[in-house]
Amino acid sequence: MRNKPRLRDPKERAGDFNEVSMGYSPEQAKEEASRCIQCKNPQCVKGCPVNINIPAFIKLIAEGDPAAALDKIKEKNNLPAVCGRVCPQEDQCEKMCILGRKGEPIAIGYLERYASDYGNKNSQSRNTKQSSLDKKVAVVGAGPAGLTCAADLAKDGFSVTLFESLHGPGGVLSYGIPEFRLPKKIVNDEVEYIRSLGVDIRYNMMIGGIFTVKELFAQGYKAIFLGSGAGLPKFMGIPGENLNGVYSANEFLTRVNLMKAYRFPEFMTPVRIGKKVAVVGGGNVAMDSARSALRLGAEKVCIVYRRSKEEMPARIEEAENALEEGIEFRLLTSPTKIIGDEKGWVRSMECIKMELGEKDESGRRKFIPLKGSEYVMEIDTVIMAIGQSPNPLIGNSCSELKREKWGGVIADPETGQTSIPGVFAGGDIVTGAATVISAMGAGKKAAEAIRKHLG
């Protein structure tokens, strides 16, 4: 039987921002690792976007050596403590696990997390190669894609400068994913490790503004990786979205996570959360927003999602955590307008009920509004968590960079090569909002392609 991780009590945890899951104890980790049958042809590795040697690191945990396990993971993955927490393992490595066919797959994610949390002190993983200045590479964006690409290139002896527009590292790991799911200390420790590899991180540098792609080449960078993510928030385009009390999830989460508004006024950025909060959307960002709203003291928080539970893009684990904490789910429901008071503040939201029809081209069932089913719910805060588009700033400053109509940078899926020689791209800026690990996979492939490109 698969070992269950230790979770804090829902009532207790919903009152603070401390981490919800406490992971495995050393005994649990050893026991879980011992369940692995060490396949000769491990399928799990094929499910991992960065090809971690999963059976090898699990064996080291079973032998009681988390530090060696961590070193094994770090051969392929530069952010193991992050991935152990936020990767959708159930759709990747664990989905392929042979034990999952008849019973429950090995908890690879929790074991990765255990190796990182318990092995970090004794890890030997340090860079020994000297960077050579004639091979300068610029990486744009210190999120999962950029950090991965920069770390891999530094390990190979390139001199890497990582440009970040915000004042701290991590990208979505810092501004998007809340403390209770991914403590910022974990992110900072991983970034310290990447800096120890020789990566020079320069904050408050928005490429496209301070320097253009052309100017970076003129400064002597031989290749450029663009990993600036999907930061542009989407709104629905319904009446009332500019009322006071309507947030994009990006704004709400940035205030809470990056700016630490949950500790206002000690931290000076405020956030205002009402009594009744509606979060629109069904992805992980919606879950993060809803659970953060609850922790900020909202009396009632509900998720409004236009399809059913089966179609919800959020991880099952996160939706279950939200439900346990008391978040209400209004499924098959979509807002039609937001209604305000005379002072411009949100008072209520009109919604319409949906039913599901045939599957569309993406394989999800289409939603069809039920005529006449409109109703009004009393709320005072709305958080729009319906997705983000690629940040357009770099593309706008560089007309040669070809982009899709919806804004994504066009790049070869295997190499990240864009329409400009020497410029590579990967992560959400190419795919639109996706997962941390897929961005890391793209960063890794691009690092390999840059290595070849610079010979």
Q: State which of positions 181-210 bind another protein (CB under 8 A).
A: 203-206, 209-210
Region near another protein per CB under 8 A, out of 65-73, 189-197, 267-275, 352-360: 267-275
Burial, 389: exposed, middle or buried (Cβ in 10 Å; 0-12, 13-18, 19+)? middle
**In the complex, least distance from residue 199 CB atom to another protein, rounded to whole angstroms:** 19
Cβ distance to another protein smaller for residue 60 or 259: 259
**In the complex, least distance from residue 285 CB atom to another protein, rounded to whole angstroms:** 13
Q: Which of 120, 125, 254, 431 binds another protein (CB under 8 A)?
A: 254
- The count of C-alpha atoms lying within 13 angstroms of the C-alpha of 128, restricted to the half-sphere facing its C-beta, is 2
The contacts of residue 258 (CB under 8 Å, 6+ apart) are 166, 168, 174, 175
* 198 torsion bin: left (phi>0), alpha (psi -120 to 50), beta (else): left
The reply to whether 373 sits near another protein by the rule CB under 8 A is no
Cβ distance to another protein smaller for residue 98 or 205: 205
The reply to whether 241 sits near another protein by the rule CB under 8 A is yes
Cβ distance to another protein smaller for residue 123 or 391: 391
**In the complex, least distance from residue 231 CB atom to another protein, rounded to whole angstroms:** 4
The contacts of residue 248 (CB under 8 Å, 6+ apart) are 233, 234, 235, 383, 384
Count residues binding another protein (CB under 8 A). Answer: 39
Cβ distance to another protein smaller for residue 206 or 323: 206
Q: Which amino acid is at 62?
A: A
Region near another protein per CB under 8 A, out of 3-11, 144-152, 226-234, 308-316: 226-234
User: CA-to-CA distance for 444 and 450, rounded, in angstroms?
Assistant: 10
Instruction: Give the N- to C-terminal CA distance of the chain in Å, as an integer.
Output: 49
The reply to whether 167 sits near another protein by the rule CB under 8 A is yes
Q: State which of positions 415-454 bind another protein (CB under 8 A).
A: none
- Asked if 29 and 111 count as a contact pair (C-beta separation under 8 A), the reply is yes
**In the complex, least distance from residue 75 CB atom to another protein, rounded to whole angstroms:** 34
- Asked if 262 and 294 count as a contact pair (C-beta separation under 8 A), the reply is no
Q: How many residues does the chain have?
A: 455
User: CA-to-CA distance for 290 and 181, rounded, in angstroms?
Assistant: 13
Burial, 406: exposed, middle or buried (Cβ in 10 Å; 0-12, 13-18, 19+)? exposed
Q: Which of 22, 268, 376, 410 binds another protein (CB under 8 A)?
A: 268
Residue whose entry in the numeric block shows the structure tokens 């040697």: 53
- Asked if 33 and 61 count as a contact pair (C-beta separation under 8 A), the reply is yes
The reply to whether 403 sits near another protein by the rule CB under 8 A is no
The reply to whether 341 sits near another protein by the rule CB under 8 A is no
The reply to whether 264 sits near another protein by the rule CB under 8 A is yes
Region near another protein per CB under 8 A, out of 162-170, 177-185, 291-299, 309-317: 162-170
Q: Read off φ and ψ for residue 381, nearest 5 degrees.
A: -140, 140
Region near another protein per CB under 8 A, out of 75-83, 231-239, 371-379, 408-416: 231-239
- Interface residue list for another protein (CB under 8 A): 165-167, 175, 203-206, 209-211, 231-233, 235, 241-242, 244, 247-248, 250-251, 254-255, 259-260, 264-270, 272, 343-344, 391-393
